[in-house]
Amino acid sequence: MNIFLELDNLIFTSLLPIEDKHSFSQFCRKLDPKPMHVLVNLFKEKPEWIVKFYQNIQAKRAVLNKKDKKAWDEIIEKENFDLLEIEINDLEIEINDIE
């Protein structure tokens, strides 16, 4: 299946409002398709991350328009915590698989 179609399927079955689903789908279609499998795999495993990811993009857009460095740093800090959460969850899964 085409990676963008697969991503669209995930986005359009998410909890995002319909107008945000369209906006997010259009945004994703502008991205390089090569690394998209990582995003698709994340969204398959954790569909709630579709909303988080979209909200992160919207927050970044708003801050870029305002050119607010402090707000940008706060978004990046939250993003780092979110990524750390993914890593911790992955480690827990791996540890449970070993036991």
Q: What is the mean pLDDT of residues 68-95?
A: 83
Q: Which residue has the tokens 């890593």?
A: 87
pLDDT digits (tens, 9 = 90+) for 12-29: 999 999 999 999 999 999
Q: What is the mean pLDDT of residues 41-53?
A: 92
Contacts of 56 (CB under 8 A, 6+ apart): 75, 78, 79, 82
Residue percentage of the chain with pLDDT more than 90: 60
pLDDT band at 87 (very low <50, low <70, confident <90, very high): confident
pLDDT tens digits along 28-38: 999 998 889 98
CA 55 to chain centre: 8
For the chain, the average pLDDT equals 89
| Domain ranges across the chain | 3-98
Q: Which pLDDT score is estimated for 51? A: 95
- Above 90 in pLDDT, residue 84? no
What per-residue confidence (pLDDT) applies to 98?
A: 67
